[in-house]
Amino acid sequence: MKHHRATCGRVAAALTCLGALAALAACSSSTSSSSPPSTPSATSTGSGTSTAPVTSPSPSPSASPTAAGAPACANGTLQVKLRGEQGYAGGVDLAINFTNTTSAACTLYGYPGVSLVSSSHAQIGLAAKRTTTAPAEVVTLAPGATGHAQLQIADALNFPTSTCGPVQAADLRVYPPGQTAAVFLPDHSQGCAQPAQILFISPVQPG
């Protein structure tokens, strides 16, 4: 009788233990199912690389606008004049002035196109050759400001008549840098109808 009671006691204790384990398992399952989902892992794109999960970007301040430079001087916005003719043995040096006549700044860069022309505006000989004594630079002209290019005109009489073919000019034809409209300035130099180089022009410089 005592052996039977002991056996029953052990069976009851085992059942109690199994019940406690079952309750613990149910609690653990409930806790796991209520946990927040983990962050998605990177996914493959199929090309051997991985991409991170797409997330909404946080707002960022707008970039400050960059100040734009002044535009190139347009056709008809410049007053073009000859200035400061200086003679030397074999020719003359003079400056071609470019003055901004508008109310806004504009820029010039590089060389003007210069040639001697007849009274009918036909070109005489070669156009001015570009010199490299001064570097080309962007010249910003404020309203009313002036830039200039140096022009050298060699004396046509320095050349043999057969290789020059002297012709009396009526004007200088000047194309400001980057422009397609010419300005005609009175100039009565002698040009060469033959391909003798008598004109030399620098890039536009400040002042």
Q: Tell me: the pLDDT tens digits for 108-147? A: 999 999 999 999 999 999 999 999 989 999 999 999 999 9
Question: Measured between alpha carbons, how far is 112 from 109 in angstroms, rounded to an integer?
Answer: 9
pLDDT of residue 56: 33
Exposure b/e, 76-91, CB count within 10 A at least 16 = b? ebbebeeeeeeeeeeb
Closest to 40 in 3D by CA, of 27, 26, 54: 54
pLDDT band (50, 70, 90) for residue 106: very high
Look at residue 72 and tell me if it is in a domain: no
Look at residue 132 and tell me if it is in a domain: yes
The pair of three-digit structure tokens given for residue 169, joined into one six-digit string: 């000019």
Look at residue 154 and tell me if it is in a domain: yes
Per-residue pLDDT reduced to its tens digit, 28-55: 444 444 444 444 443 333 433 333 333 3
pLDDT > 70? residue 191: yes
Look at residue 172 and tell me if it is in a domain: yes
- What domain count does the chain have? 1
Domain residue limits at 162: 78-206
pLDDT band (50, 70, 90) for residue 87: confident
Look at residue 194 and tell me if it is in a domain: yes
Q: What rounded mean pLDDT belongs to the chain?
A: 77
Give me the CATH number covering residue 88.
2.60.40
Look at residue 181 and tell me if it is in a domain: yes
The pair of three-digit structure tokens given for residue 43, joined into one six-digit string: 């996914």
pTM of the model: 0.66
Look at residue 60 and tell me if it is in a domain: no
Look at residue 53 and tell me if it is in a domain: no
**What is the torsional sign of CA 165, 166, 171, 176?**
positive
